[in-house]
Structure 1
Amino acid sequence: MIQRLPSLVGLLAALLLAGPAAAQLRGHGGPVRALAVSPDGRLAISGSFDQSAILWGIDTGTALAVLRSHDGAVNAVAALPDGRFASASEDGRIALWRLGRTEPEQWLTGHAGPVAGLAVAPDGRHLGSASWDGTARIWPLDGGPSRVLTGHQGNVNAVAFLPDGRPVTAGADATVRIWPPESAPRTVATLPSALSALCVTADGEIAAAGADAVLRLLRADGGVRLAVEVGPNPVVALAPSPDGTRIAAATAGGTVAVVDRATGRILARLVGPGLPVWSLAWRPDGVELVTGGSDRLVRRWDARSGEPIGALAMPRPADALAAYHGNRGAEVFRACIACHTLSPDEGNRAGPTLAGIFGRRIASVPGYRYSEPLTRMDIVWTPETVARLFEVGPARYTPGTKMPEQTIGSAADREALVRFLETATAPR
């Protein structure tokens, strides 16, 4: 993969020399968590669990630049009207990038937890961010302090803006919140389940969805106008078509439903390889959708027919645990496979490879960027320390880690996991 930004002249030349349509854009080493398309529709930026963002020429299928400055998974991206791009990470920081530069032009800092969502305000001069620290922030892009929005009871997963500039947020507390100017009361709509996705149409209707796989369309006063079942799997991303007539809803089951906004009718289903679709964005023509998922690819689709654009091979990625069928430890580990590989030739993903983990000091895999607190710890990974990690949870055992919080309550399951790792990660 390209490791440095090309010159601006070279980048434009690559776009002008577009070849046949590429249905799949390959480059990420982990699930594609976030996508945004530039206002002119020629470029896309993607963010991944592999801690990188990639700038793409959509029609060429070329990775024009790989952006590596974050210390964690890149959960959100945005294309700014002035030609810049934004990326946000589980490291709590937002980077602003300009074409032709090898490092971020600016860092926006202040969140105390992972940033899960970004949105550009209608005036193009403000950026909204949603964070697992329980807050959202509104950042003036020309400088100055951010406005902090507090009130959610838990993770804030998504942010958007109404046409008049008012921020809208959605979170794990199952609420959609509409934020007025500083002194006015906010509007709160409580829905039946935790929310992970949010978008706003150009005429001000709010779409929200999440764990119960129902897309709900809300008026600006918080009232629900229409509810559409798009499941059975949870909805993890939403995007309105440029003309506002359709909403695309991506699911953890690997499909994308294109919903007619007026009637709630599902116009098309985009069916991928059966893995979660984490992100999606429309090109300005309203004909094409781009999606990113757990297969590490960015895919292009005709949103009217539901068919892929260009030649498309959709084999389900090889199951790295197939050789361990029936092994209880392998089944426990399946929750970890999106972020960790087992062999050195597969490299790092969102987390470091586990190849050769036993006997290795914490935070010592070459080429992986660890959070600073881990580099100061004196832990050697053994069956006992790995079991302890999952008994008490990463936040307590390795404070400052970027690893998602998770525990394994069953001692038998912890032992099975350790025995599996002893086999699967041993040098071959």
Structure 2
Amino acid sequence: MKQSLLTAGGDEKGSKNGGVHIRKVADRSIKWPLKHHEKCAYGARFSLDEQYIVTCGSNNKVNVYHIRHNLDIAQPTGFEYLGADVPTRTVRCIAIHKQYLAIGGLGETKIGEKMEPTGEIRIMDLSKNEPAKSAVRINFGAGELTSIAFDHEGKFLAAVSDNEVGAWQLNWLSGNHQLFTRKKEDKKPTALCFDPKSSAVFLATEETPVSKIDFEPSDPNTSYTMSAFPPARLESIGGQSFAKALALSPDGSRLAAACNDGCVRIFDAMDGSFLLALRQSSKPLTAIAFSHDGRSLATGCVDGKVRIWETVD
């Protein structure tokens, strides 16, 4: 997807439709429009192998596109629409690793005679004929999942729900994905991302520093240890600030935090030291991503604008 940017928009009130577009980085013009999500599109992702695009939105649908041609020469028919209703109450977040798709939201579980809401993850293999029907379901927490991520190698999956963080060791052959750590947070988690060079996850909450959790096996078959990340508090600008989205540079050296005060804060991912702040808007930022080569940083904002920065080594 050289020189291409995937954007998602809209709002909950429906004053803007939930459009998803592939744009040219050079001039921000629309390259291909994708199927809309009625009021609001919550997220859009390329798979790292560039075989799939997945999107989710407020209509509680997940749209999947199989890219059959190089985007630079493809016609719109280069996308195969595989979208379908997902049997959950809500769909809030998505993650993709190769052909494996994870969907996070709010589902239902029968407790006694009643159906009670529960955080829900569904993991499916997009290479199958009817992936939704063979999806593996995982319940986690009592509230809606707000963020979900695979590690770079597809060995782990992490998710946040209310004030809980969970991580699973994945077994693609058996489909038996084992929860191996579950951690309560004092404040509501707001964002997470995996280090692309390891199995460590970075976590942000509403009032605490960004933390780093390492899943390093002391025994490769059974146990994992967790280590603390040196404090990297997000200094406020005109009030309490916290990260709403996180991204790691491809080389794992820089952690970028998109914050509720409209700033991007950059940290050294190795020791947590603060590097610089980029003032982008007076409105909260909601999304952030590095390009695959690490040379560009893109942010999404509630003002409907996508901003792109050129990074410097």
Normalising by the residue count of structure 2, what TM-score does the alignment of the two structures yield? 0.59
Alignment match of 2:148 (pick from 112, 118, 138): 118
Give the Cα separation in 2 of the matches to 1:121 and 1:19.
26
Alignment of 1:183-262 (within 5 A): 193-201=187-195, 202-203=197-198, 207-212=202-207, 214-216=209-211, 221-231=226-236, 232-261=240-269
Q: Which residue of 2 aligns with 1:342?
A: none
Q: Write the deviation string for residues 295-350 of structure 1: whole angstroms up to 9, x where unpaired.
A: 577x3623527xxxxxxxxxxxxxxxxxxxxxxxxxxxxxxxxxxxxxxxxxxxxx
**Structure-1 separation of matches of 2:154 and 2:27:** 31
Give the Å deviation of 1:111. Answer: 0.7
Distance (Å, rounded) in 1 between the aligned partners of 2:179 and 2:213: 24
Structure 1 gap segments, 5+ residues each: 1-14, 154-172, 175-192, 306-428
Deviation at 1:248, TM superposition (A): 1.5
- Greater strand share, 1 or 2? 2
| Letter in structure 1 aligned against 2:85 | S
Q: 1:265 to 1:55 in 2, by over 3 A?
A: farther
Q: Aligned letter for 2:173?
A: D
Post-superposition shift, 1:271? 1.9
Structure 1 residue 251: deviation in Å?
2.1
Larger fraction in helix: 1
Aligned length: 250
Shift of 1:79: 1.9
The Cα offsets for residues 32-76 of structure 1, whole Å up to 9 and x where unpaired, read as: 54454321458653433342334578889x895473423444322
Q: Structure 2 counterpart of 1:248, which letter?
A: A
Rg (Cα) greater in structure: 1
Can you give the 5+ residue segments of structure 2 that lack an aligned partner in the other structure? 1-21, 108-119, 215-224
Contact 2:230-2:272 at 8 Å conserved across structures: no
Query: What is residue 176 of structure 2 aligned with on the other side?
Result: 145
Superposed, 1:13-32 pairs within 5 Å as 22=28, 27-32=36-41
Deviation at 1:121? 4.2
- RMSD of the TM alignment (CA)? 4.4
SS in 2 for 1:238: strand
Q: Does 1:106 align with 2:134?
A: yes
Q: Counterparts of 1:295 and 1:72 in 2: how far apart (Å)?
A: 28
Distance 1:290-1:90 versus aligned 2 partners, 3 A rule: farther
Give me the whole-angstrom Cα distance separating, in 1, the residues matched to 2:105 and 2:179: 18
**Identical aligned residues as a percent:** 17
Q: In structure 2, how many angstroms separate the alpha carbons of the residues matched to 1:257 and 1:102?
A: 42
Contact 1:31-1:296 within 8 A present in 2 as well: no
- The alpha-carbon deviation at position 265 of structure 1 amounts to 3.2
- In structure 1, C-alpha distance between the alignment counterparts of 2:64 and 2:28, rounded to whole Å: 15
Contact 2:94 2:101 in 1 (8 A): yes
Match of 1:301 among 287, 304, 308: 308
Q: Following superposition of structure 1 onto structure 2, how do residues 388-407 of structure 1 map, counting pairs within 5 Å? A: none
CA distance in 2, matches of 1:84, 1:300: 29
Q: 2:211·2:228 contact (CA, 8 Å) conserved in 1?
A: no
Cα contact 1:35–1:76 (8 A) shared by 2? no
CA distance in 2, matches of 1:46, 1:28: 9
Paired amino acid for 1:85:
L
CA contact (8 A) 2:150 2:194 kept: no
